[in-house]
Structures are given as C-alpha cells and as structure tokens.
Amino acid sequence: MAEANYPEDLRYHDQHDWVRIEGDEGIFGITWYAQDSLGEVVFYDPPEVGSSVEKDVSYAEVESVKAVSDVIAPMSGEVVAVNEDLGDAPEHINEDPYGAGWLVKVRLSSPEQAEALLDAAEYRKLLDS
Amino acid sequence: MRTPLYEQHVDLGAKVVDFAGWEMPVTYEGIREEHSAVRTHVGMFDVSHMGEVEVEGPGALKFLQRVLSNDVAKVEVGGAQYSCLCQEDGGVIDDLFLYRLGGDRYLIVTNAANHGTDLAWFGRHGRDFDVAVRDVAERYAMLAVQGPHARAVLSGALRVELPPRMRVAPVKVGRRPALACGTGYTGEDGVELLIDPEVAAPIWAELLEAGVVPCGLGARDTLRLEVCFPLHGNDLSTERNPIEAGLGWCCVESTGFIGAEAVAAARAGGTAEKLAPFLIEGAGIPREGNPVLAGGETVGVVSSGTFSPSLERGAGMAYLRSDLVEPGTEVEIDVRGKHRPARIASKPLYRKRS
C-alpha cells in the first residue's frame, strides 16, 4: 500500500513490528514504516513451526534487494504457523503488511506483555518524533 | 556533497543515501522496476559523483602508459579504453575508463571514492613527464542512459548523433559542449553523457519527459553484478591484483606500467585465489563478507552479493581458492550462519536472450 497506515486494532513494538491478538494467539508482522524503509521485500526467512520466540529478540529475517533486516518479536510464545505464501510472494509484505503479509502465528506465553506495547496513536507519535 | 540533480532526486521521492560522501539516490520507485526498465527499455542514472581528470601534453601517452595497465597506444582519437591503476605490487588503486579527446589530450573517469587518491597518484607520477594533469570533476555532470532503447530515445530527445560502442564524441547538449561516450556499467547498450552541470536539470527533465526511467545506485549495482562487472571497494582493492580479479585482459605488461612486474608474475605463476561469479541454488541472498565453504572448510569470501532481479535468486562474486573456480563447482555460502548451497557460474551471470 502506498500510504502510511497503522490500524487501531493492533499493538505495536517500537522496533516496527505489530501483533494482532486473537484469544491466546498473536499474529505478528512488520509495520508499514518498516516495509517502506526496507523497500521491496524479495526474501522472507521464517522460523520453524514449534520454535519459540522471545519478546524483543529477532525471530526471522526479511530482505530487500539491498538490505537484510531482523524481525523482532513483540511478544513471547511458540510459533504455531508461518505464512507459507510468502515463499513465492514475499511482496505481500509490502503490498499488504497487516493482511496477506503477516509473518507468523504464535501461541502467546505471556499475554500480559501486550500491556507494555504501543497502541496505534503512540506508535504514530514515535514515528513523528 | 550533492550533484546538480539532488533537488530532482528529492522531488521524485528518491531514497537518498550517503555514497563516498555524496548524497545519492539509491532508488525511486523500487530497484526491481528500475532494473527491469534498463534491461527492457531505457533508464538513466545520475552518476555525477564520479570524477574526471584531464591529461594533456606532449608526454601524455608516455605518462598514461606508465600509470595505466592497458596499452594506451592502441586508443585512437575518439576511442575509449578500460584500465586498472595499479600500485607497484599490482594492487588495484582504481579501475577506470580513458577517453582520447585529441592527439595528446585524454579524459579519465574515476570512481567517486577514489578520485582524490587517483589525482594524488597521477600528480606524483606526472612530475617525470611533460604533461598537465587537471582535476576537471566540477566541469561535468554525468548521466548514464542505458538500455536497449537508450540510443533511439536519446538521439530523438536531444537531437544529437551518438558515437558507437567504445567511442567518444564531442556533442552539444543543452546548447553547451558535452561528451557522449558509448560506454556503461549495465551490460546493456547505452551512452554516458558528460554535460555542463548548468544544463543537467533541464536535460534530466527532458529525458524524463521522453519516458526514460530514473534509476538509482541500487539498480546500478544489481545490473553490473549480473554481468560481472567488478566494483572497486568490493571486488577490487589495493589488496588484490588484476590477475586474481579476472582483469588480466586489460593489462599489457610490455608497456612497463607501474605494477607490470607483479602482474606478470601473477599471470605466470597463478594466484592462490581468484574472483568467480556464483549463483545460490535455492533460498538465501549472499552479502559482501559472507564466508564461502567447501568440504566443511572456509575457502573464500563473498566480495559482492545481492538478489538478482533478472535471475530471481541470490547471486554474487567471491574470491575463492583457485582450484574451485571452475563453473559448476558446488560450494556453500555462509549467510549469517545458514549454509546456502551455491554453484560457481561462468561470466556473465545474466545473458540477454537473443
């Protein structure tokens, strides 16, 4: 998507990652700002299903033609699904970062971590500062 | 530093990065689109950060034979030639194009990062010759217009007659004297224009109007890497000689250039390592500095690596043990701890479908 966009229903990590909380699971991805800074994503290197991710620690890599970027977990848990479609179509991360460009689904081990994350307004403020 | 086209880049929404002290556009709309524009149509690059040095005088040829690796005597008036600038030990200070503008008048185009070093080197060695060496970088803006349609679009838009490949011709661009060079760094046909900085902005606008796609340094890098043109600072350095870099073809030791003895020795005796292109077999994008592995041991290092937009996979060049550079040889690239299978390829990695 061409215009900056930060949906209200997501929680944000200051390293430009988002989580959509659905019960005891969270879907992770990178924000519009992150994909715009990186440029066209040409490769997504996902973690394995069953592996654990830790809040504030890198769990995957996304690469553009010129650069590689670590993807930081906004919350801790166990990976229950990865977005397999991105293998053939990593450009979804640019085109639809909050939809078809989701990266992993995680069973959250510490749901209370959500409280420390930013809401959309706070994240926008961070980007403006 | 900024080129005369800095405002144009910003207006077009370019991502601007520092490159050798210059604020340069890395991409406008996306590296893949720009890359593809040059492979299929026509793109233009602001390469005004590159330096120019004029060499003039009765001793010009003798001086150039001494400092440049190629046989400068072979260059006719209006001709162009690629050379290395070597240290005594053969280490490559820079790689550059030489254009012969007149009987004893030559123009050299330097890499931006090396312009100062090259000038100092020319100045030091020029003292022994009847020659004037001038830094004329401020006299020129440089536009590389590249792609299968480059000549047609350029000659139509600027109403100029363009020189054939590997030739240079004086032309008028924006009613000012300019040089058109049949050279480039993309593997496509095209022209490099050396123009008056004052007309750079209107000429840029005119070419945009004519449908030429603005391209940044990102696409310049992927385009040159697909055709295995070396980049100084990555694939060439003072730590490597032209033989191991695969540039023996532009070294003529009989001219007695500085470094000729070392180059002759490397040519005769071989080198421990050689530069070779490779392709990643599956997933993964190699990057500069990644180790190359074979049989469980480190056998080399990636000097340039990227995602190849034309081949749609990881590609690069690496210095590796000379017994492993045969095309088809299987190696692994250690990309941040993941061992990615790769295969040594032949040059160029990308070949135009005819």
Spatial contact of B250 and B69, defined as CB atoms under 8 Å apart:
yes
Interface of B with A (CB under 8 A): 15, 26-27, 30-32, 218, 221-222, 283-285, 287, 306-307, 309, 336, 338
To test the contact with chain A by mutation, choose from B16, B18, B32 the residue with the greatest count of A C-beta atoms within 10 A, namely B32
Q: What pLDDT is stored for residue B354 in this prediction?
A: 55
A87 to chain B: closest CA residue: B283
3-state secondary structure of B9: helix
Q: pLDDT band at residue A3, thresholds of 50, 70 and 90?
A: confident
Distance to chain A for B30, nearest Cα, Å: 7
Spatial contact of B192 and B184, defined as CB atoms under 8 Å apart:
yes
Question: What are the phi and psi torsion angles at B332 (to 5°)?
Answer: -130, 145
- Each domain of chain A, given as residue ranges in start order, spans 11-128
For the segment A11-39, the average pLDDT, to the nearest whole number, is: 96
- Amino acid present at B200: A
By DSSP bridging, strand A77-82 and strand A104-108 are antiparallel
CA gap B296, A86 in Å, rounded: 31
Q: Enumerate the residues of chain A whose CB falls inside 8 A of the CB of residue B32.
A: 40, 42, 65
Spatial contact of A33 and A126, defined as CB atoms under 8 Å apart:
no
Nearest to A39 among B31, B284, B336 (CB): B31
Q: Enumerate the residues of chain A whose CB falls inside 8 A of the CB of residue B27.
A: 39
DSSP chain A: --S----TT-EEETTTEEEEEETTEEEEEE-HHHHHHH-SEEEEEPPPTT-EE-TTSEEEEEEESS-EEEEE-SS-EEEEEE-GGGGT-TTHHHH-TTTTT--EEEEES-GGGGGGSB-HHHHHHHHH-
Closest CA to B317 of B263, B265, B240: B240
To test the contact with chain B by mutation, choose from A42, A68, A82 the residue with the greatest count of B C-beta atoms within 10 A, namely A42
Per-residue pLDDT tens over the stretch A60-104: 999 999 889 999 999 999 999 999 999 999 999 999 999 999 999
- Cβ-count burial of B59 within 10 angstroms (0-12 exposed, 13-18 middle, 19+ buried)? middle
Q: What pLDDT is stored for residue B352 in this prediction?
A: 82
Q: What pLDDT is stored for residue A1 in this prediction?
A: 58
Contact: A43, B30; criterion CB under 8 Å: no
Domain B6-48+140-226 has CATH 3.80.30.20: no
**Domain B272-354 belongs to what topology?**
Elongation Factor Tu (Ef-tu); domain 3 (2.40.30)
Contact: A65, B15; criterion CB under 8 Å: no
Q: What pLDDT is stored for residue A129 in this prediction?
A: 87
Q: Enumerate the residues of chain B whose CB falls inside 8 A of the CB of residue A40.
A: 30-32
Contact: B309, A64; criterion CB under 8 Å: no
Nearest to B30 among A40, A61, A63 (CB): A40
Distance to chain A for B184, nearest Cα, Å: 21
A42 to chain B: closest CA residue: B307
Closest CA to B348 of B16, B11, B39: B39
Contact: B336, A68; criterion CB under 8 Å: yes
Interface of A with B (CB under 8 A): 39-40, 42-43, 45, 61, 63-66, 68, 87
Q: Enumerate the residues of chain A whose CB falls inside 8 A of the CB of residue B15.
A: 39
Q: What pLDDT is stored for residue A66 in this prediction?
A: 85
For the segment A31-46, the average pLDDT, to the nearest whole number, is: 94
Contact: B285, A39; criterion CB under 8 Å: no
**Domain B52-137 belongs to what topology?**
Alpha-Beta Plaits (3.30.70)
Q: What pLDDT is stored for residue B195 in this prediction?
A: 98
To test the contact with chain B by mutation, choose from A38, A48, A66 the residue with the greatest count of B C-beta atoms within 10 A, namely A66
Query: In tens digits, what is the pLDDT along chain B, a chain of 354 residues?
Result: 999 999 999 999 999 999 999 999 999 999 999 999 999 999 999 999 999 999 999 999 999 999 999 999 999 999 999 999 999 999 999 999 999 999 999 999 999 999 999 999 999 999 999 999 999 999 999 999 999 999 999 999 999 999 999 999 999 999 999 999 999 999 999 999 999 999 999 999 999 999 999 999 999 999 999 999 999 999 999 999 999 999 999 999 999 999 999 999 999 999 999 999 999 999 999 999 999 999 999 999 999 999 999 999 999 999 999 999 999 999 999 999 999 999 999 999 999 875
To test the contact with chain B by mutation, choose from A40, A61, A82, A93 the residue with the greatest count of B C-beta atoms within 10 A, namely A40
Q: What pLDDT is stored for residue B267 in this prediction?
A: 98
Q: Enumerate the residues of chain B whose CB falls inside 8 A of the CB of residue A86.
A: none
Could you tell me what percentage of chain B is helix, strand and coil, using 3-state DSSP and rounding each to the nearest 5?
Answer: 25, 35, 35
Distance to chain B for A97, nearest Cα, Å: 17
**Domain A11-128 belongs to what topology?**
OB fold (Dihydrolipoamide Acetyltransferase, E2P) (2.40.50)
- Each domain of chain B, given as residue ranges in start order, spans 6-48+140-226, 52-137, 272-354
Q: What pLDDT is stored for residue B73 in this prediction?
A: 98
Q: B348: which 2 tokens?
A: 């160029």
CA gap A124, A129 in Å, rounded: 9
Closest CA to B318 of B304, B299, B329: B304
